[in-house]
C-alpha cells in the first residue's frame, strides 16, 4: 500500500514537469493558415525551415482555487507593468501586422501585374486592328496571343480580388475570432 501511494505521489509530482516542458511547433502554409502540432514529424518538409517553437502553456488553475494574483474582492489584477497584448493563440501585434503587410505586398504586386497584363492586351488588340490587311494566318496568331493575354489578365484580376478580400474581410474576421486587436490588421 505504501509503495502504491509513493508511486502515485511521484507521478503527481513529475507529470506537470514533463507536460510543462513539451514543445509546440507552429507554421503557416501557402494559404496563410496557421498550424500547430507537438510532433515535429507531422510538419511538412517544405515548412520545417519556418517553424516557430514554443513551450506549451501551463495548465490553467483549478476553477475552485482563485488565481493568486487576483483578489476575489477586486476582480482585476494588481497594477503593474502591462504585458504585451496577444490573441488567444499567443500571437502578438507583430505577427498580425506581418500577415497584413504580406497581403498588402501581394495586393500591390498583383495590381502592378494586372496593369502590365492589361496594357499588353490592349497593345495586342491594337495590333490585331492594324493587321486587317495582313494574311489570315498572321491575324489568327495575334488572336491566339490575345486569348492567352486575356487569361493572364483574368488571373491577375483574381489575385487582386483575393488579396483585397484577405485584407478587407478575412484577416479582420480572423483577428476578431482570435480576439486580436482589430487595429493590428489595418494597413493604411
- CA atoms of 109 and 103, how far apart (whole Å): 10
- CA atoms of 36 and 43, how far apart (whole Å): 9
Q: What is the mean pLDDT of residues 67-94?
A: 60
Do the Cβ atoms of 5 and 23 come closer than 8 Å?
A: no
- CA atoms of 105 and 56, how far apart (whole Å): 33
If phi over 0 gives left and psi between -120 and 50 gives alpha, with beta otherwise, what is residue 179? left
> pLDDT-based confidence at 37, cuts 50/70/90?
confident
Output the nine-digit C-alpha cell for 53. Answer: 517553437
128 or 46: whose pLDDT is higher?
128
Output the nine-digit C-alpha cell for 174. Answer: 480572423
List helix spans (H) across the chain: 2-20, 93-130, 136-165, 171-177
- Going by C-alpha positions, the residue among 8, 32, 77, 2 that lies closest to residue 173 is 32
Q: Where are the domains of the chain?
A: 19-57, 93-185
> pLDDT-based confidence at 74, cuts 50/70/90?
very low
The full DSSP string for 27-44 is EE-TT--EEEES-GGGS-
The two beta strands, 34-37 and 52-55, are: unpaired
pLDDT, one tens digit per residue, over 88-143 is 888 888 888 888 889 899 999 999 999 999 999 999 999 989 988 899 999 899 99
Do the Cβ atoms of 183 and 87 come closer than 8 Å?
A: no
> pLDDT-based confidence at 171, cuts 50/70/90?
confident
Amino acid at each position: 500500500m505504501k509503495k502504491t501511494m509513493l508511486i502515485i505521489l511521484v507521478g503527481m509530482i513529475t507529470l506537470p514537469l514533463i507536460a510543462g516542458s513539451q514543445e509546440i511547433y507552429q507554421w503557416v502554409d501557402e494559404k496563410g493558415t496557421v498550424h500547430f502540432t507537438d510532433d515535429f514529424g507531422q510538419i511538412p518538409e517544405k515548412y520545417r525551415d519556418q517553424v516557430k517553437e514554443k513551450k506549451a502553456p501551463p495548465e490553467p488553475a483549478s476553477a475552485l482555487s482563485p488565481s493568486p494574483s487576483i483578489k476575489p474582492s477586486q476582480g482585476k489584477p494588481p497594477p503593474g507593468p502591462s504585458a504585451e497584448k496577444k490573441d488567444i493563440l499567443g500571437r502578438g501585434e507583430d505577427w498580425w501586422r506581418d500577415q497584413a503587410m504580406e497581403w498588402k505586398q501581394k495586393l500591390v504586386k498583383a495590381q502592378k501585374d494586372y496593369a502590365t497584363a492589361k496594357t499588353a492586351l490592349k497593345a495586342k488588340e491594337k495590333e490585331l486592328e492594324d493587321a486587317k490587311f495582313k494574311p489570315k494566318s498572321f491575324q489568327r496568331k495575334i488572336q491566339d496571343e490575345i486569348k492567352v493575354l486575356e487569361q493572364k489578365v483574368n488571373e491577375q484580376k483574381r489575385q487582386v480580388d483575393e488579396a483585397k478580400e484577405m485584407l478587407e474581410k478575412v484577416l479582420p474576421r480572423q483577428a476578431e475570432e482570435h480576439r486580436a486587436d482589430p487595429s493590428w490588421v489595418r494597413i493604411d
